[in-house]
Structure 1
Amino acid sequence: MRDDTTQDLTGLNTLRLVSHAAHYFRLDNEQQLPQVTQRRHAAGQDIYVLGGGSNLVLREHISKPVVHNQLKGIRLVEETDDVFIIEAAGGENWHDFVATCIGNGWYGLENLALIPGTVGACPVQNIGAYGVEVMDRIESVHAWDIEQGRSRLFSVADCAFSYRDSLFKKPAGQGYLITAVRFRLPKQWTPVTTYPDLKNDPALAQSPTAQQIFDAVCRIRQAKLPDPAQIGNAGSFFKNPIVSAGKQSQLKSDYPALVSYQQADGSYKLAAGWMIEQCGWKGKSLGPVGMHHRQALVLVNHGGATAADVLALADAVKASTQEKFGVTLEREPVLFD
Structure 2
Amino acid sequence: MTLTEGFDLSGHNTLGLPSRALYGGVISDIGDIMRMIEFARARYLPFHVLGGGSNCVLAETVNAVVGRIDLGGCRIEQGFSGGVRVTASAGEDWSDLVRRTVGQGIGGLENLAGIPGTVGAAPIQNIGAYGIELSDVFQELTALDTRTGDLVHLGKDACRFAYRHSRFKDEPGRYIVTEVTLSLPRHWRPVLSHAGLKGLPDASDPGAIMAAVLAIRGAKLPDWRITGNVGSFFHNPIVPAHMRQEVGGVPGHPVPGGIKLSAGWLIEACGLKGHRLGGAGFHAKHALVIVNHGGATFGDVQDLAALAIQRVRDRFGVTLVQEPVTLT
TM-score category, normalised to shorter length: over 0.9
User: Residue type matched to 2:54 in 1?
Assistant: S
Query: Number of matched residues?
Result: 328
**1:305 Cα offset (Å):** 2.1
Residues 306-325 of structure 1: pairs in structure 2 closer than 5 A: 306-325=297-316
Aligned to 2:180: 181
Q: Which of residues 277, 285, 288 in structure 1 aligns to 2:268?
A: 277
Distance 1:266 1:48 in 2: 32
Does the CA-based 8 Å contact 2:106-2:206 persist in structure 1? Answer: no
What is the CA RMSD across the aligned residues, in angstroms?
1.6
Distance 1:81 1:148 in 2: 34
1:40-76 deviations in whole A, cap 9, x for unaligned?
A: 4333333111000000011111121001111011103
Aligned to 1:53: 53
**1:162 Cα offset (Å):** 1.1
Does the CA-based 8 Å contact 1:13-1:56 persist in structure 2? Answer: yes
Q: Which runs of 5+ in 2 are unaligned?
A: none
What is the aligned-residue identity percentage? 41
SS of the aligned residue for 1:216 comes to: helix
Does the CA-based 8 Å contact 2:56-2:327 persist in structure 1? Answer: yes
Does the CA-based 8 Å contact 1:289-1:302 persist in structure 2? Answer: yes
Distance 1:105 1:205 in 2: 18
User: Residue type matched to 1:196 in 2?
Assistant: A
Does the CA-based 8 Å contact 2:8-2:20 persist in structure 1? Answer: yes
Aligned to 2:21: 21
Distance 1:266 1:301 in 2: 34
Residues 163-312 of structure 1: pairs in structure 2 closer than 5 A: 163-170=163-170, 172-200=171-199, 204-252=200-248, 255=249, 258-263=250-255, 265=256, 267-312=258-303
Q: TM-score, normalised by structure 1?
A: 0.93
Distance 1:178 1:236 in 2: 23
**1:233 Cα offset (Å):** 0.6
Q: Does 1:105 align with 2:101?
A: no
Q: Does 1:114 align with 2:114?
A: yes
Distance 2:34 2:314 in 1: 49
User: Residue type matched to 1:221 in 2?
Assistant: R
**1:77 Cα offset (Å):** 4.9
**1:23 Cα offset (Å):** 0.5
**1:269 Cα offset (Å):** 1.2
Distance 1:25 1:42 in 2: 17
SS of the aligned residue for 1:63 comes to: strand
The 10-residue stretch of structure 1 (179-188 or 98-107) with the greater mean CA deviation from structure 2: 98-107
**1:101 Cα offset (Å):** 1.1
Does the CA-based 8 Å contact 1:82-1:188 persist in structure 2? Answer: no
SS of the aligned residue for 2:193 comes to: coil
Does the CA-based 8 Å contact 1:6-1:24 persist in structure 2? Answer: yes
1:233-270 deviations in whole A, cap 9, x for unaligned?
A: 10000011112222123322xx3xx211222x372211
Does the CA-based 8 Å contact 2:274-2:282 persist in structure 1? Answer: yes
**1:31 Cα offset (Å):** 4.4
**1:206 Cα offset (Å):** 5.0
Distance 1:147 1:307 in 2: 31
1:8-51 deviations in whole A, cap 9, x for unaligned?
A: 21111001111111111201123434423432433333311100
Distance 2:60 2:264 in 1: 28
Aligned to 2:80: 80
